[in-house]
Amino acid sequence: MANEQELNELAAQLRKPHGEQGIEVASMMNETNQKMTHHAIDLLKIGPDENVLELGHGNCGHLSYLFSQQKDSTYYGLEIAELMTKEAQRINRDFINRGRASFQLYDGVNIPFSTDYFNKIFTVNTIYFWTDPAALFVELYRVTKPNGIVNITFAQRDFMEKLPFTPFGFELYDTNKVISLVEQSAFKVGDVQSLNEQVKSKTGDLVTREFTTVTLHK
């Protein structure tokens, strides 16, 4: 069983991967979050020539899946972790060279794009680490085009609170808590879809994870 210091370090890596271990953690997250990420992307229903933004893309091993849904879209990724920006750039060099994708750092709140820029925005497993949700929603609303949508995908509190590392800096959510957060913003809540999946926990056991995508409309 991991001790408190090890759990604290794992939590810090999940929040902001760094160093040699960060690359391993990012690879593991890409694998274990695949179904959640695909769910978020599928529900975007990306159209041709749309601008798509992802917050907290990790190593972005899922970009080819996104482009398989709509090859004429353009992807933009924002990360708080410098290591993840570099890893995503390394893994997706071909898409970058073709002008299909770009990755950059941001501070977790201020989105460095102009108003009404994105048709579709999504984020998977980042909400637990948002430092200022109200300010981030203002920014998300600003950069979303009229009639654009934002998908927030997260694992439910009932699952997350069973994990040994979530006491270390995670803010846990259920659907009602996310919706009440959204209702304080200018967005309207649209679709809410949940799925269950069997996943291997960070400690190696098979567990059932319930996750949800909440779709917001501008």
Considering the entire predicted model, what is its pTM? 0.91
What is the count of structural domains for the chain?
A: 1
What whole-number distance in Å separates Cα of residue 100 and Cα of residue 26? Answer: 22
Integer angstrom CA distances of residue 34 from 160, 184, 199: 17, 30, 10
The 10s digit of each residue's pLDDT in 139-197 is 999 999 999 999 999 999 998 888 777 777 789 999 999 999 999 999 999 999 999 99
Contact between residue 201 and residue 127 where contact means Cβ atoms under 8 Å apart: no
pLDDT of residue 48: 93
DSSP state letters, 169-195: TPPP--HHHHHHHHHTSS-EEEEEEEE
Q: Which domain holds residue 190?
A: 4-217
Dihedral, 46, 48, 53, 54 alpha carbons, nearest 10:
50
Q: What is the pLDDT of residue 70?
A: 85
Give the pLDDT band (50/70/90) at residue 7: low
Instruction: Give mean pLDDT, residues 111-116.
Output: 98
186: domain CATH number? 3.40.50.150
Q: 45-67, pLDDT tens digit by residue?
A: 999 999 999 999 989 999 999 99
Would you say residue 1 has pLDDT above 60?
Answer: no
Which pLDDT band, with edges at 50, 70 and 90, does 125 fall under?
Answer: very high
Provide the terminal-to-terminal Cα distance of the chain, rounded to the nearest Å. Answer: 46
Mean per-residue pLDDT, 108-115: 97
Rounded to the nearest angstrom, the gap between the alpha carbon of residue 17 and the centroid of all alpha carbons in its chain is: 14
Phi and psi, residue 204, nearest 5°: 100, -5
Q: What is the pLDDT of residue 14?
A: 65
